[in-house]
Amino acid sequence: MEITEVVVRPVESDRLKAYVSLTFDHAFVIKDIKIVEGRNGLFVSMPSRRRKDGKYQDIAHPINSDFRKTVEDCIFSRYEEIIGDELTGKRELIELQEPELEAV
């Protein structure tokens, strides 16, 4: 199984950093994956639903740790590309908006 598309949609929130959609083999998509800021840094939260007892249960998730690492690596790689592009764009915008000071 190959991850053929990773779509990252950053959000402006305290802990929630982005929503992610993964496409496998151009044929199957998983949406509502989240990138969340935790106590020890960023982590991937798979889509889940709340059960009657109040606990959350994953709807879709990797079965083994090797594939989980593959999924997380793809997600974080794309997230870093997107955030880097956004930060570069913001820096360029700030530089354009800053007035040039004349030498005294």
| Tens-place pLDDT, residues 29-66 | 999 999 999 998 899 999 999 999 999 999 999 999 99
The pTM for the full model equals: 0.78
Q: Helix H segments across the chain?
A: 65-97
**What's the rounded mean pLDDT across residues 13-21?**
94
CB contact at 8 A, 48 and 58: yes
Question: How many other C-beta atoms are found inside a 10 Å radius of the C-beta of residue 35?
Answer: 24
- List of domains in the chain: 3-47+58-97 (3.30.1120.40)
* Mean pLDDT, the chain, integer: 86
